[in-house]
Structure 1
Amino acid sequence: MVRVIGLMSGTSVDGIDAALVEISGKDLDIQIELIAAQTYPYPPKLREKILWVCAGEAISMQEFAELDDAIACSFADAAQCIQNNKAASHEKAILIGSHGQTVYHRPPVPLKYRDIKSSTSPSSSLGYSLQLGRGELIAHLTNTTTISNFRSADIATGGQGAPLVPRIDAALLSHPQENRCVQNIGGISNVAYLPARQGDWLEKIRGWDTGPGNSLLDLAVYQLSNGAKTYDENGDWAASGNICQTLVEEWLQHEYFHTPPPKSTGRELFGVDYLKQCFADAAKYQLSPADFLATLTELTAASIVENYRLFLPQLPQRVLLCGGGSRNLYLQNRLRSRLGEVPVTTTDEFGLNADFKEAIAFAVLAYWRQMENPGNLPSATGANQEVLLGDIHQFRAM
């Protein structure tokens, strides 16, 4: 068994999730034990700066460098804090897997949309994804070998760079007889479809970003509460409103929901500008704040189920939720309503902490990188091949 720290901050930018994990085994045959987990909020001014940049705010290169350093320092602090957690005892982690903070994500350009004449190089159609919080600084500050920049290798081979979690889900949550969907609801929602472990099941795994998760809801709550709230706890505010189904159907016509996977997205598409359009669309219906939130929550639920119906070989036999949105009880209920008899639960019930599953995943990806096991699934990301994920920043005691 080795101890690894996984660090993750998603598109909601609500803090750094840190997970201290013990891992053993190789490739898909691994066992994990969660020793300690905690979310460490960003300093308010740093979070505000990150959100500005994610929304397209222009900054100088000096400011960019300072932001990169500040995020790395926050990630290093989180790693040191989780290492010193009472549950961690005195055994030190030998490795850190740091996802960093995504500030920009551009999916690859599908062949049919490429303008060959304007292409300056063969790589012009590749995607691009930028995570700040440089691993070499985290390694230096924590005195621990750190692996970061997990998405770039998949993107370099034609992949989306996302989602990277399906291979971990396959190792930890697949079932011999049951077809499952593992649905992460962070700022953006993503799914891993896990067919029953029979025959060439690994090649049949699929994964993609289904669309908005909490990002639009959090932005709307902040705006509707004049900054008093940052999220809708348990979905209580939305639950007090009425859904405008006509508006949901209008929003579901968005091209992204009907684009076949592999596909990925982020705040660049479902962010501040999209929310402004949602408010404009809703104006003619004279919705109350609660009605608007109920309708926006329904969009998240409806877009998830619409993706299942359009792009899965069949509906899953079970859906396992994780991420912050898995704690939104109203959203859970709306998913159950739309999925009918398909059971909807959380990964907690199957031994994997729903709040910290993404942080655990990056601990596993770091472990796999160190073991020289591939981390991506081409059937999920669209990459040309399996590759090692992450840049290693080695710490060597002098």
Structure 2
Amino acid sequence: MHPIEEVTVPTRVIGLISGTSVDGIDAALVEISGTEFDLKVELVAGETYPYPAELRERILAVGAGVAISMAELAEIDDAIAIVFAQAAQNIQIGHQPATLIGSHGQTVYHRPPAKREIDQKTLLPSKNAINRVSPHSPLGYSLQLGRGELIAHLTAITTVSNFRVADIAIGGHGAPLVPRVDAYLLSHPQEGRCIQNIGGIGNVAYIPPRYGDWLSKIRAWDTGPGNSLLDLAVEHLSAGAKTYDEDGNWAATGTPYHPLVEQWLNQDYFHLPPPKSTGRELFGVTYLHECLKDAQVYQLNAADILATLTELTSASIVHSYRTFLPEMPQQVLLCGGGSRNLYLKQRLQLLLTSIPVLTTDEVGLSADFKEAIAFAILAYWRHLGIPGNLPIATGAPQEVLLGEIHQSQF
């Protein structure tokens, strides 16, 4: 049982997030009650608000590593905060107002911590560690733009933001952060479940049956590419006419080339044991161009390329289950934008054979807005003084409070 601060408990909370696909801001207005085992959530309203086209292009450029000045970075930071604040204001129209906002912001850079022994007292590499990466990067780093203090000022609502930094500061990945929420909302008394989010990057939370010491048996990590490569490929192959493959219809007209998928699955990340996290820094534009170069050798057409990249997403998910889970789940529940890709879902079901592949909608939690709901809950927990990370998922040595609280001045 965690100590709870003596505060007025906010029950109407807004969750805000834009994922690595940068396709818009998911906003969820929710009613929350309880704390952990008795946690209950009702989605009052959910909406996705697209970024202005120019801002989206600037965000994608920064995420791809384009050099900008500090002044330009500050401008983008402010612009993201403003559209996040507008999303928070719009989602409340016609409803009773919220008393708290949880804003994940927009990730533009993510660097996992080095895979090596770290002295937890000094957070420096152990003298006995073998440094396989830069000796100056023993800790991870993750940057989310859209500063919470400005959102709090513009909305006049207390805002919690910067959720990842506390976990990273003690040696964790700062990702994935949603498994603790998944555990309390989506566990089942008899069935083991994989909650598979497919955003720009895919991540899984394996939730064992809810009995005994079940919380200690949860496993979670980033599985690899979700929609990131697919969206980039669609934009490239359509010469900018499309930004995503609706329902996977384009890919469904092609044929996946399995020897190429097997070649791509040799990438080191897929074989790295959890805890682990990744982002567009690995599975981004450069990686896509390498994939396209590989596909040229086999003279694949556009539809075949999309089908093969879709197969990589589904095959990498299933590969990670079979490699790193203590046992296969009895059920897979999809959420995120990729859950609407019918072709991707079909390929996953084919690879998982008899294990049912459903969406979280089918068990009562919105697949479209689950991530936004999760950050509303993480803000709620932060307000109550309840830790939000799950150390076995992030690799952190202990539970910590997640998020920085920015009080409204009104």
Same fold (TM over 0.5): yes
Corresponding position: 1:382 with 2:395: yes
Q: Displacement of 1:15 after TM fit?
A: 0.2
Letter in 1 for 2:28: A
Aligned to 2:55: 46
Contact 2:220 2:275 in 1 (8 A): yes
Gaps of 5+ in 2: 1-9, 118-128
Aligned with 2:308: secondary structure?
A: helix
Asked if the contact 2:18–2:26 (Cα under 8 Å) also holds between the matched residues in 1, the reply is yes
CA RMSD of aligned residues (A): 1.3
Show the counterpart of 2:330.
Answer: 317
- After TM superposition, give the deviation of residue 83 of structure 1 in Å: 1.1
* Alignment-derived partner of residue 308 in structure 1: 321
Farther-moved stretch of structure 1 (285-294 vs 1-10) = 1-10
Distance 2:17 2:134 in 1: 37
1:213 pairs with one of 210, 226, 243: 226
**What does residue 284 of structure 1 align with?**
297
Counterpart amino acid of 1:79?
Answer: A
The total of aligned residue pairs comes to: 390
Deviation at 1:157, TM superposition (A): 1.4
Structure-1-length-normalised TM-score: 0.96
Indicate whether 1:133 and 2:146 are aligned. yes
2:185, 2:217 → 1: CA distance? 16
Shift of 1:395: 1.2
Match of 1:17 in 2: 26
What is the CA-CA distance between 1:114 and the residue it aligns to?
5.2
Structure 1 runs (4+) deviating above 3 angstroms are 116-120
In structure 1, C-alpha distance between the alignment counterparts of 2:234 and 2:376, rounded to whole Å:
32
The yes-or-no answer on 1:115 pairing with 2:131 is yes
Q: How does 1:220-299 map to 2 (within 5 A)?
A: 220-299=233-312
Identity between Structure 1 and Structure 2 (%)? 71
Amino acid at match of 1:110: K
Change in 2 beyond 3 A, CA 1:117/1:246: closer
Is 1:28–1:170's contact at 8 Å kept on the other side of the alignment? Answer: no
**Residue 52 of structure 2 corresponds to residue 65 of structure 1:** no
Structure 1 counterpart SS, 2:39: strand
SS in 1 for 2:241: coil
Q: Which amino acid aligns with 1:12?
A: S
1:2 partnered with 2:11: yes
Give the secondary structure class of the aligned counterpart of 1:125.
coil
Q: How far apart in 2 are the matches of 1:16 and 1:116?
A: 37
Shift of 1:32: 0.5
* Structure in which a larger fraction of residues adopt helix: 1
The gaps in structure 1 that reach 5 residues or longer are none
Residue 106 (structure 1) aligns with: 111
> Do the aligned partners of residues 334 and 117 (structure 1) sit closer, same or farther apart at CA in structure 2, a change above 3 Å counting?
closer
C-alpha distance in structure 1 between counterparts of 2:33 and 2:133, whole Å = 51
Answer yes or no: is 1:349 the counterpart of 2:362.
yes
TM-score (norm 2): 0.94
